[in-house]
Structure 1
């Protein structure tokens, strides 16, 4: 056992990830679902999230420590910036350790952004520092920019970049089908979690996407809007957990979203009962 392994086990459960990123306040402001951060953290904890992902200021503002794993985000950029794809480092691995984080995350956009080389350099240097200090690193890698179309081949490429530059977990979009997603997971040197992207039209659509991603070899998700903008973030987290960790089908997990709650606790035993 070493420090990185111990911390990885705090953000994963049985090697699977139900990560809820809530770093959107920097890029987009206080959007729906992310006004009362303490309440939202509490709700996704209740649903069984393996980790939450937050910026340093939110971590410092919490009234009590998260009961699940804690990932601190080091990258920032705003929608009002001249280059919306540019991400800069706004903290350090040492600060994450001081604040009690179990892991850190870095965002890299690849595909035509003029600052792509700077973001790649930051990722490589942070990966080395994480290895030195025993901190797990989640790399959020996206094909974004004037040369990027977001094709499955591009998604496989950017995931490979994250793995090759030293990330312990790589986050990337779902490619759209099991076959092409399997290329992403098999070719990436690090385990892969999928992003949620824009809020989906239906709960089943989200759960089916996750079920297919798991079939393709992903270890879980890092989903934001489809959880924190849901009418019941706790139940949506629980349904995703059922697919990812318990291995039930998307159809079976959908039963959770019909509201099986008893004494404030989600009844996972009710999955598939109706």
Structure 2
């Protein structure tokens, strides 16, 4: 691995265990300025204070969230987008470049791919091109890999999730983000088929903290590298506390009961 890429990866991942807590803040393009994404400096302060390794956002948002104080946190620039207003919300379009991320001081870039969508071929071409360009600069790539389209009956099916993860690594991603399959035994298969770190998505807003803590705990025990969770963190009543609890699970191997006592 290039030294530059290794250095950047250590800024967004724990160098001792290869795990990470990433908080995506890119939802404003998809659904607008929802709760938790209005005062971005305060949100970043909270997730950083709780112990998150990195935040993820579109290229226009660092100017609204750079704090000049507080605990440091890694920066991942998201390069693809679509909106909920579109008739084709699963068709992601490139809206940024590796060069944009470099100019912003980013530690990594990310791309969202929806396998099974009618525009899958274009999204795959975009991922391949971004991975090639990023590799030239020693810039890590996080691939958000989902299965969403007419032929997809269950996007959480272990075989489908494993396929998604494998596509990401095959095309050059350094970290792959996928849905959690629902239990450790099936998620082991996803991790085993992917030779780069695999992190789980948070999905829709969960009903309670226990569901989130259990999902993260079980995925890590199955060999996962942590999480990339947005709404279930930045819309939590106390983002500092929920991140701190997840930090104990991911980076210190706390069990579920101990993490819930902290909450």
Structure 1 unmatched runs, 5+: 258-274
Change over 3 Å in CA distance of 1:63–1:191 after alignment to 2: closer
4+ long deviations beyond 3 Å: none
Contact 2:44–2:65 (CA under 8 A) maintained in structure 1: no
User: Partner of 2:220 in structure 1?
Assistant: 214
Alignment match, 1:2: 3
Aligned equivalent of 1:84? 89
Superposed displacement of residue 63, structure 1: 4.1
Instruction: List gaps (5 residues or longer) in structure 2.
Output: none
Deviation at 1:256, TM superposition (A): 2.0
> TM-score w.r.t. structure 1 length?
0.91
How large is the Cα RMSD of the aligned pairs? 1.1
Kept in 2: contact 1:164–1:189 (CA 8 A)? no
CA contact (8 A) 1:21 1:54 kept: yes
CA distance in 2 between counterparts of 1:249 and 1:130 reads 37
1:130 to 113, 120, 134: 134
Paired residue for 2:230?
A: 224
The equivalent of 1:109 in structure 2 is 114
* Counterpart among 225, 241, 245 of residue 239 in structure 1: 245
Does residue 73 of structure 1 match 2:78? yes
Encode CA deviations 1:140-199: one digit per residue, 9 max, x unaligned. Answer: 000111111211111110111001110000000000011110000000132100000011
Q: Say whether the 8 Å CA contact 1:72–1:104 is kept in structure 2.
A: yes
Instruction: Tell me the residue number matched to 1:160.
Output: 166
Q: Which residue of 2 aligns with 1:45?
A: 48
- 1:64 shift after superposition: 2.4
Counterparts of 2:247 and 2:123, CA distance in 1: 32
Residue correspondences, number? 256
Give, in whole Å, the separation in 2 of the partners of 1:128 and 1:168: 12
